[in-house]
Structure 1
Amino acid sequence: MKTWSEIAEIQPLASKIITNSIKKDRVSHAYLIHGERGTGKEEIAIILAKVLFCMDLNGIEPCNECINCKRIESHNHPDVHWIEPEGKSIKKEQVENLQKEFTYSGLESNRKVYVIKDADTLTVNASNRILKFLEEPTRQTTAIMITENSQAILPTIRSRCQIIDLKPLNPVSFQNKLLENGLKKQEAILFSALTNNLQEAIEWSKDQWFEEARKLVIQLVEMFSTKPEDVYLFIHSHLIPLLKERKDQEKFLDLLLLAFKDILYYHIGNENEPIFYQSTDVLLEKAAMSFSEEQIIDNLNAILKAKRKLKQNVQPTLVFEQLALQIQR
């Protein structure tokens, strides 16, 4: 997506809000763009930056051909600064370096833009540094923060930004795109529940990791009901070796969440096709018989809590051990 018209197809309200401000020459000094993975956050940030620097702007649309547009597209424009987490967080030193850059005049104009990816990972000290930027805005500076979890950002920062909430993509439309790209129906249903990014879903469908993780989720759910005493050994011997990176740990919890959602829907007689299990899977019926509705809801909440702990950098092994204890209860 490289134009506002393309953005408008999936995010009509967000596109309208931002383009109206462009037309009126009232671009905000700071935006907080919030939305799920694949909903267009980074694309919006790039197009907005292009609008501010494009050498051949066509109304509200950047030309996408001039040197400024091309450099912004490749994250190489000297006056458009990108900050991303180093490791698991954005640190104070990164923001200090940004502040140092902003003490100099723009290399090619007086305008400057900075984009903060995964803004919810700002440390407390880094957040306080960013807050100083936002408290003294200049017309020539635009901040764009993008996040999947705006509630994790300091209220004082949120209050100084124009918040742009992006709506989830239409799952049926997304599934059809996946089918057109060669995925099987069950794969399309599963991956559309995990991501809204087409290329990411296609890559994941070819990744053997997902097949292995899915098998382990099924084994883990079955073990909770049949051999709960073996769960800790299973976690250390099978899960921990597979889940070396935080992104893998989070994806595994997403799969476990989908599994328990299917079990809950089976309980309440939901007619929608299961996402994680096959509709005729005997394991789904077996799992549903092992947990009450109340237990399943408690388990779903426990998994969501575990995901939050991972984002807070709690030691992964401890997170999974605590989750196992909560589900066993």
Structure 2
Amino acid sequence: MSKRLSREETAELIKGMKGRIAVTTHKNPDGDAVGSSLGWFNFLKKLGKEVKVVYKDPIPYFFDFLPGVEKVEVVGEPEVKEEFDWLIITDVSDPKRTGFESINAKKSLVIDHHITAEPFTDYAIVEPEISSTCELSYHIMKLIEPEAIDYSVALPIYTGIVTDTGSFGYSNTSPETHFVAAELMRKGVDPYFVIKNLFERNRINRFKLLELVLKTLSFALNNRVAHITLYQKFLKETGAYPEEAEGFISYPRSIAGVEVAVFFKEIEEGSWKVSLRSKGKVDVAQVAKKFGGGGHKMAAGYEVKGELKEIQEALFKELALSFEEAEFKELSS
């Protein structure tokens, strides 16, 4: 297990890093993953360090406005064979979830905010109560060198906070989150520029995909669970990219009476990604953990192989137990 660090200890560790540094994040990167890894890449460059950012999967097109995005090296191979002195992994605790089987580095550090995080690196800082890895990264950067947080650092950090807080609408948004956002705006970040690039450049293909996915809408556990499914054939039929399904889970989650929304995404035949969203009654991070995944109380996920019907039955059984546990706690309080 990793040596757990405080913000101050992490700042000192990063400040003292010498040699070649690799920065990476989880496969199928989302806003917090891209924002935190690019933020650190640009920040470390400002400090004069030798750094490279490597991903297993391509970056979704709607992040193409972020400074340094063209510097990301997408490695199709299962291993990063270059030698590094340090590896910084953001927004994920398990090196395997980067998509790489191995990255050749002498020492490693995880910066993460998932409640289920169990890092297997040399060092780690994990703060489950904070909104995002980007918000945590900002605090550490301020301890290292506030002046190095310029626009090229502020923009990706702000973007990751926006996506992981649902544009500051989720329960993980704190007064401190807004304070950090304000400080990033003072660095030149324009909120509408971020929103426009993230959410107002949809291709028509996305809406064709949404139409097919919403037709799969079904319910379970007395309508307390709503679920949708994305099959690979839908992507072929519409010409949509997998990342264009981002946000689809908010539709079943928004239905009155629904406590948990589930999005089943077919990765390839017999392989599925399961995304879970809760309105607070059920801790979906603990449900996902039972299937080898993780996340937060209200947003989590996992990957699994098998037949969809069996995957659904196993999940709904766990969710039923979680509902019973939540109801027992309510009666006992």
Fold similarity call, TM over 0.5 = no
Normalising to structure 1: TM-score of the pair?
0.40
Higher-Rg member (1/2): 1
Higher helix share: 1
Normalising to structure 2: TM-score of the pair?
0.40
